[in-house]
């Protein structure tokens, strides 16, 4: 047993010691953030079934509420759905005609078909935002092939990219997170830009061409780069203030439920070497060493103190 004096000293020293440990954790977080996030991901992996259990009553209540709301105005909902169905039938015909035309055109152009991406579908386990970040954790089950950098989409558009991968859970950094930078293409003005998240609902557009400003309402798609394929729907351009174009995302970033994670594979397309980039053979360090190109001159003996040594 410790003496009373030793216990008093220990009681006084314990708080400064714990504060020192906390400062150590802060420094570790600044230097080795992935290590800390790995531990957090493991904890979420462990808790994933419990989260499902916790959220289950809320999900059931939402389903009942939706049913109840639908039951109150069935006639109005019916007529709205009939109109919507009519419009959708028209668009279905248009889509089928366009797909056939697209197939014919691709055939006549000898279009090289793109590889079909692998994907997994997962349920959002937890909103991992916090005050300063926008991220979600997905439960993708065991034995998944998800890699860092894979693309996450919901039914409508791009959500974000995978930043951490655990045994059952993956973390997706959303497009409106402050650390998110996605290269995009503007569909009508044909300009390239970077979509930068700023923790608000609508990420900003930066680095767009100054002679081709984004047009209000135009579509924004991804620009093919590394694991991100070209042409994924992102959203539409909106000017929240003069000279401040933002992207209104197609994906519903606030209410996420089922998310698909696509693996488009590595972009291994390498540009061929340009003539100016052909590796030049290194010349000998001392051009005077070795036989001279002039055959009529006698060979000079190798003497110390000559230039370049």
Kindly list the residues in this chain that would bind another protein in the complex (CB under 8 A). Answer: 14-15, 18-19, 21-30, 33, 36-37, 39-40, 43-44, 47, 50-51, 54-55, 58, 124-133, 135-136, 178-179, 198-199, 254-255
Q: Say how far apart CA 303 and CA 293 lie, in whole Å.
A: 19
Closer Cβ to another protein, 24 or 70, answer by number: 24
Look up tokens 């259990």; give the residue.
53
Closer Cβ to another protein, 26 or 88, answer by number: 26
Q: How far is the CB of 206 from another protein (least distance, A)?
A: 13
Q: How far is the CB of 225 from another protein (least distance, A)?
A: 22
Closer Cβ to another protein, 31 or 109, answer by number: 31
Q: How far is the CB of 55 from another protein (least distance, A)?
A: 6
Q: What is the DSSP string of 20-38?
A: HHHHHHHHHHHH-HHHHHH
Q: How far is the CB of 18 from another protein (least distance, A)?
A: 5
Closer Cβ to another protein, 128 or 221, answer by number: 128
The residues, any chain, with a CB within 8 Å of residue 134's CB and separated by 6 or more, are 173, 174, 176, 177, 178, 180, 197, 199, 253
Q: How far is the CB of 45 from another protein (least distance, A)?
A: 12
Task: Please give the biggest Cα pair distance in the chain.
Answer: 107
Look up tokens 């995978």; give the residue.
162
Q: How far is the CB of 25 from another protein (least distance, A)?
A: 3
Closer Cβ to another protein, 58 or 108, answer by number: 58
Closer Cβ to another protein, 138 or 186, answer by number: 138
Q: Say how far apart CA 128 and CA 202 lie, in whole Å.
A: 18
Q: What is the CA radius of gyration of the chain?
A: 30
The residues, any chain, with a CB within 8 Å of residue 113's CB and separated by 6 or more, are 106
């Amino acid at each position: 047993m410790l003496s009373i004096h030793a216990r008093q000293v220990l009681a006084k020293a314990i708080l400064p010691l714990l504060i020192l440990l906390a400062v150590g954790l802060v420094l570790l977080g600044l230097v080795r953030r992935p290590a800390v996030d790995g531990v957090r991901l493991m904890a979420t992996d462990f808790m994933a079934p419990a989260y499902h259990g916790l959220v289950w009553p809320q999900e059931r209540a939402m389903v009942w509420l939706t049913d109840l709301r639908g039951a109150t105005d069935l006639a109005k909902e019916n007529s709205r759905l009939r109109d919507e169905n009519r419009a959708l039938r028209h668009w279905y015909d248009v889509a089928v005609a366009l797909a056939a035309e697209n197939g014919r055109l691709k055939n006549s152009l000898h279009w090289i078909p793109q590889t079909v991406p692998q994907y997994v579908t997962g349920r959002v386990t937890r909103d991992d935002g916090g005050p300063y970040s926008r991220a979600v954790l997905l439960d993708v089950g065991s034995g998944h092939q998800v890699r860092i950098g894979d693309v996450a989409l919901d039914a409508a558009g791009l959500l974000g990219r995978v930043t951490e991968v655990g045994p059952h859970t993956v973390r997706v950094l959303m497009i409106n997170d402050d650390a998110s930078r996605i290269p995009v293409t503007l569909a009508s003005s044909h300009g390239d830009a970077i979509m930068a998240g700023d923790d608000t609902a609508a990420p900003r557009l930066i680095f767009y061409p100054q002679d081709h400003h984004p047009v209000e309402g135009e579509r924004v798609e991804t620009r093919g780069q590394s694991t991100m394929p070209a042409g994924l729907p992102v959203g539409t351009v909106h000017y929240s203030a003069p000279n401040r174009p933002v992207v209104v995302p197609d994906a519903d970033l606030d209410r996420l439920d089922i998310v698909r994670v696509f693996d488009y594979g590595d972009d291994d397309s390498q540009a061929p070497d340009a003539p100016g980039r052909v590796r030049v053979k290194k010349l000998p360090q001392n051009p005077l060493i070795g036989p001279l190109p002039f055959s009529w001159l006698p060979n000079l003996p190798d003497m110390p103190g000559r230039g370049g040594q």
